[in-house]
Amino acid sequence: MAYQTNKNWNTRQQSRAYVYGNLSPVREPSFEPVRREEQEPRRAPSRKTRQNRRRESRISGSYVFFLVLASVIAMVICVNFIKIHAEVTASSKNITKMQSQLSELKEMNNSKEGAIMDPINLDQVRDRAINEMGMTYAADNQIVHYANPSGDYIRQVEQIPKEGMLAYAGN
């Protein structure tokens, strides 16, 4: 009996023993898993099964043709996409360039308009028109009022029809 107690004490002592390193002691399982090969022997496939597997592993000509055709179509789509993307990029750059040219032209036009309008004195124009050219202000009977639907100025090229006038202060 003393032998068994000593044996149990020795087993407990070993299970509590510290192992130096980064892993704790790994206990071995009390059973060993049953291997599949031991459970049932593997049968060799039948001749028909081997023929079917061989036939399925081969690639048929129609499948190769389909793969080549799909590859060509994918390649054409990719090339067209890249071409269209390049055209859009070029158009975008062209639009940006034209917009900068437009802004430069507008700025130049505004500066020239300012240079033209600055030296003009409207009082001098009125004095010259009245004194040198003999122009006079319009009399009340010479003014024709008409409906202007657009709100913009109108350049008169021909006579204004009587039905479009709101009031006429004439003879």
Would you say the pTM of this structure is higher than 0.75?
A: no
pLDDT band (50, 70, 90) for residue 72: very high
Task: Answer yes or no: is pLDDT of 36 > 70.
Answer: no
d(CA 115, CA 109): 10
DSSP conformational letter for 16: T
User: Could you report the per-residue pLDDT of 90-141, keeping only the tens digit for each?
Assistant: 999 999 999 999 999 999 999 999 888 887 788 888 899 999 999 988 888 7
For position 103, what pLDDT does the model report?
96
Cβ contact 144:160 at 8 Å: yes
For position 2, what pLDDT does the model report?
45
Task: Answer yes or no: is pLDDT of 61 > 70.
Answer: yes
In 3D space, the residue among 141, 137, 144, 140 whose CA is nearest the CA of residue 160 turns out to be 144
Cβ contact 164:147 at 8 Å: yes
d(CA 43, CA 106): 90
